[in-house]
Amino acid sequence: MLYLTKLQLQAELNRCLTCKTQPCMSACPVSCNPQEFIRYAREGEWENAVHAITRYNPMGQTCGLICPDKFCMKACTRCHVDFPINIPRVQATILNEHRTQKEGTCGVALNGFRIAIIGAGPAGMAAAMVLGKSGFCVDIYESRDEVGGALNMIPEERLPHSVIEKDWSFIFEPDRMRLLLNSHVEDPAELCKEYDGVIVATGEPNCLALRIPGEELSVSYMDYLYHPEQYRTSGCVAVIGGGNVAVDCALTAARLGARSVEMFIRRRLVDMRISKKEHMELLEHKINANGMMSPEKIEKNGDLLKLWVRRNVFDGEKWTALPNSTIALPYFDLVIRAIGSRADEKNESIPTLIYAGDCKTGGSTIVEAIASGKNAAEAMIATVLHQ
Ligand SMILES: Cc1cc2nc3c(=O)[nH]c(=O)nc-3n(C[C@H](O)[C@H](O)[C@H](O)COP(=O)(O)OP(=O)(O)OC[C@H]3O[C@@H](n4cnc5c(N)ncnc54)[C@H](O)[C@@H]3O)c2cc1C
Ligand code: SF4
Ligand code: SF4
């Protein structure tokens, strides 16, 4: 279930110890304060509870559904008593049920400066909110036909995409923001000639290649996860990679009716950086994760694909190929590559060109991208106002 019931919410609110030191806030990358919003919610002051979330986090509902448990929950004092408060779900439920008003711009007048933001993912949206509140006009250029960036690759079961739109509708201020969809920017430096500053929040749009013969017969995780219905199959699916994104690919293929799904992971299963919940879901969907296996070649096999994989060995420091261990698996309908992605080249020679989110830090989480977008906007404000 995505949201808590009334009873569940009340139980979670009552379990909070209202810790004076607020470890949950210190662990949150955007300094959202669960102690505060839980306290308000417990007293039935819903408007204050909503405001306590949204003034720090413009995408609080989306975060509530997908923030990993390594931040506020890991720091929750209740871990030492029994188990942590389910802070993300409490946050999502409060916003789902009680948010009615925008944070707004508090009457801040436009200051005449114009900023371009490239990329309407979490980092770009957060930057837009901070700049709009400070009186800047913002044009947001987005290659795709929707806001949300990589969040749109997250399966609906985990994150209904209408929630991304909802968060955006509370950020968007039509008197000072323009969203330009289907507007790919080739060279951010060119936009610097037109605007007082440019924030680049383009994520990591380039999928890493396997660099094996027959690679073109496989599908990238981006192509797959943006439009999984186009690749629906009742046959066998191979997923190359062992991170969260690979897990989302495997689960999506299983949910869409694949007869079997196998993952091929270069390292050991114990090295997979995925949560316990994700491990459990792989088991529930009977997905076989093959550790220490790397792909070597993909070939056509009639209507199917033949995937050649080899065994790796780990000597305590590095992984190497085990000689003569290659086997051919001739039965796949679909091979998905999900071994990561990288950002476009950066241009760090222009002071009014500032990078934010995954394109700056490498693959991260939604809440870290939001923090980075907010910081980039603050840096832009300081640069533009003092130049
Ligand atoms: C499958 C998947 C599952 C994930 N699951 C989770 C999760 O459960 N929890 C979590 O916290 N995080 C998760 N993440 C990570 C999270 O989505 C990212 O960290 C976050 O979206 C990064 O935000 P960003 O704004 O930096 O970049 P992005 O979200 O990648 O947004 C960048 C935007 O820029 C646009 N763009 C790129 N180049 C240009 C250009 N030249 N011109 C115009 N527009 C451009 C892109 O179209 C995109 O919309 C997941 C990611 C994926 C792929
Ligand atoms: S750490 Fe946990 S128990 Fe303490 S205030 Fe935060 S949410 Fe409540
Ligand atoms: S934004 Fe995410 S990390 Fe921060 S308090 Fe909320 S759920 Fe926790």
Whether 129 lines ligand 3, by a CB cut-off of 6 Å, is no
What is the model's pLDDT at position 102?
Answer: 85
In this structure, which amino acid lies at residue 322?
Answer: L
Residues 222 and 300 both lie in one domain? yes
Structural domain of 300:
207-340
Q: Any idea what the CATH number is for the domain that residue 320 is in? A: 3.50.50.60
The string of pLDDT tens digits covering residues 258-316 is: 999 999 999 999 999 898 889 999 999 999 999 999 999 999 999 999 999 999 999 88
CA of 366 to the centre of ligand 3 (A): 10
Compute, in angstroms, the gap from residue 124 CA to the centroid of ligand 2.
30
Is the pTM above the cut of 0.85?
Answer: yes
106 part of a folded domain: no
> What is the CA 126 to chain-centroid distance, rounded?
14
Residue 107 lies in a domain: no
Identify whether residues 239 and 322 lie together within a single domain.
Answer: yes
**Is it the case that residue 387 has pLDDT exceeding 80?**
no
Q: 224 and 170, same structural domain?
A: no
User: pLDDT category, 103, cuts 50, 70, 90?
Assistant: confident
DSSP 3-state of 340:
coil
User: What would the pLDDT profile of 302-316 be if each residue is shown by its tens digit?
Assistant: 999 999 999 999 988
Q: For residues 320 and 312, is the Cβ–Cβ distance under 8 A? A: yes
Task: Tell me if 251 is assigned to some domain.
Answer: yes
Rounded Cα gap, residues 131 and 114, in angstroms: 10
Given a contact cutoff of 8 angstroms between Cβ atoms, the answer to whether 85 and 38 are in contact is yes
Are residue 318 and residue 359 in the same domain, yes or no?
no
Query: Are residue 144 and residue 257 in the same domain, yes or no?
Result: no
Distance in Å, CA 313 to ligand 2 centroid: 44
Do residues 347 and 354 touch, judged by C-beta distance below 8 A? no
With the most atoms of ligand 2 within 8 angstroms of its CB, the residue from 12, 16, 31 to mutate is: 16
Q: How many domains does the chain have?
A: 3
The answer to whether residues 252 and 361 belong to one domain is no
pLDDT tens digits, one per residue of 208-231: 999 999 999 999 999 999 999 999
Quickly list DSSP for 56-78: T-TTHHHHHHH--TTTHHHH-GG
190 and 139 both lie in a single domain: yes
Residue 37 within a domain: yes
**286 and 137 belong to one structural domain:** no
**For residues 301 and 144, what is the distance between their CA atoms, to the nearest angstrom?**
35
Predicted confidence at residue 220, as pLDDT, reads 98
Three-state secondary structure call for residue 333: strand
On whether both 282 and 214 belong to a single domain, the answer is yes
Kindly write down the DSSP assignment for every residue of 119-171, as one continuous string: --SHHHHHHHHHHHHTT-EEEEE-SSSSSSGGGGGS-TTTS-HHHHHHHHHHH
Which among 98, 133, 168 is the end of a domain? 98
DSSP helix/strand/coil, 303: coil
Residues 128 and 170 in one domain: yes
- Give the ligand 1 atom nearest the CA of 63: 11
CA 202 to ligand 2 centroid distance, Å: 34
| 170 occurs within a structural domain | yes
Number of alpha carbons in the 13 Å side-chain half-sphere of residue 51: 8
Q: CATH code at 61?
A: 1.10.1060.10
Q: Is residue 1 situated within a structural domain?
A: no
